[in-house]
Amino acid sequence: ARAFADEVEALGLARQNPGFRSELARLRGEIAMAEGDAAGAVDLFRDALAHSPSAAQRMADLSLVAWAERAAGRLPAALEASAEAAELHAAQRLAPLENLDLPMLWWRRCEALRAAGRRREAEVALGRAYRFQCLRMAGLSDEGLRRNTLAKRPVARAVVLAWLAAGGRPRHLDGAVRLDERFGRQVDVG
């Protein structure tokens, strides 16, 4: 990923599109987090935040900043960034917004609040993360597809595990089951 990010930058694409600069900073920040460089990721995510092209992207970038700040051991900064993201979403009346990973936004808020020992507020944030995770999967027609979706996203797994550990009812697998679709997929695979 680092080599491809370097190649993209060398080609000059980042200079031609202002929105692309933030995408490149976000990508480099995620690479830094994967490499264990949380402090470096903070700088990159803050650069992406400075060039966020929309309110939704600003919320997402603030969530990334909170994640990296907490990993870097800077809890007050993580709380501040996650609070701003939560406030921006609350200003939207907690509406499910397209192109915004709301489970991630609320999970990062929950993590920061838990780390600060603010349990009640963390429970509220976890409830919101779980609600938005369930909404994201509402259109999936069977339990297997829902499980597959949850298994592929680290934040989704973390939210569901935290929800179950807190004694929440497992609604994430609820939904209409259409056996014809399920068996059709099995026949296609076979």
Give the mean pLDDT of 145-170.
89
State the pLDDT at residue 85.
Answer: 98
Higher pLDDT, 120 or 177: 120
CA dist., res. 64 & res. 19, Å (int):
17
Give the mean pLDDT of 37-66.
96
Higher pLDDT, 188 or 166: 166
- Given a cut of 60, whether residue 94 has pLDDT beyond it is yes
State the pLDDT at residue 99.
Answer: 84
**Residue entry with tokens 């701003």:** 84
Amino acid symbol at 123: E
- Given a cut of 60, whether residue 125 has pLDDT beyond it is yes
State the pLDDT at residue 35.
Answer: 96
Averaged pLDDT of the chain: 88
- pLDDT band of residue 165 (cuts 50, 70, 90) is very high
Q: pLDDT > 70: what percent of the chain?
A: 87
Which runs of consecutive H residues, i.e. helices, occur in the chain?
2-10, 13-16, 18-34, 38-50, 55-71, 75-91, 102-115, 119-136, 143-152, 154-165, 179-189
Q: pLDDT > 90: what percent of the chain?
A: 61
State the pLDDT at residue 143.
Answer: 77
**Residue entry with tokens 């993590």:** 111
State the pLDDT at residue 178.
Answer: 54
Give the mean pLDDT of 9-38.
85
State the pLDDT at residue 100.
Answer: 93
- Given a cut of 60, whether residue 148 has pLDDT beyond it is yes
State the pLDDT at residue 137.
Answer: 85
Give the mean pLDDT of 183-187.
57
